Amino acid sequence: MSARVLVDTNVLVYAYDRAAPQKQQQAIAVLDQLVQEDIGALTTQILAEFFVTVTRKLAAPLSAADAYSYSCSSYARALVIPSAARNLPSSWLEDPSLRSG
């Protein structure tokens, strides 16, 4: 097995933060490279931190539906650690408190 690079939550958040376009471009470039080289890794904890951050802490927060969609994006599908994938919830949107976005 080749070495993996664990993606920091902030890199994932910046990829979707429109308030910081320069950081967004850099984050997208980093994630694209990690996917292309098949060396990046995400855990379910990172995806959960991403969800909370982009729905509650950004200047222009994402809706819960958008955050869920992005957490299931090509980055998540390409980078999530396979053994952690079985721990992903079938639907994060079943919780009514997440629908307020």
Q: Which sequence spans correspond to the domains of the chain?
A: 5-93
Distances (CA, A) of 51 to 2, 59, 88: 28, 14, 13
Quick: pLDDT tens for 11-21. Answer: 999 999 999 99
Where helices occur in 1-101 by DSSP H, the ranges are 9-14, 21-36, 44-56, 64-71, 74-79, 82-85
92 — pLDDT class (breaks 50, 70, 90):
very low
In this prediction, residues 1-22 reach a mean pLDDT of 88
